[in-house]
Amino acid sequence: MSANKQVKVTLVKSTAGRLAAHKACVRGLGLRRMNHSALVVDTPENRGMMNKVSYLLKIEEV
């Protein structure tokens, strides 16, 4: 993992009715609504959030 490597994450399932911690992870990744995508730096912290809510996301290496 290099410091400037980025990953594209897309929210493909709704956060309605999810745990508050999972909603916070989605917001922390910069995602606001369904089918919204964001580029995030591939850090251990961001990877942890992506792993926690992986069932809501589509993750692509850039």
What CATH code is carried by the domain that includes residue 26?
3.30.1390.20
Residue 36 structural domain: 6-61
Q: Flag whether 1 is in a domain.
A: no
Q: Flag whether 40 is in a domain.
A: yes
**Tally of domains in the chain:** 1
Average pLDDT over residues 14-18: 97
Given pLDDT bands bounded at 50, 70 and 90, which one contains residue 3? Answer: low
Within the chain, what is the greatest distance between any pair of CA atoms? 35
Q: Flag whether 29 is in a domain.
A: yes
Q: Flag whether 45 is in a domain.
A: yes
Q: What is the pLDDT of residues 20-51, one digit of tens each?
A: 999 999 999 999 999 999 999 999 999 999 99
Q: Flag whether 39 is in a domain.
A: yes
pTM: 0.90
Given pLDDT bands bounded at 50, 70 and 90, which one contains residue 1? Answer: low
pLDDT at 14 over 80: yes
Cα–Cα dist 52/62, whole Å: 20
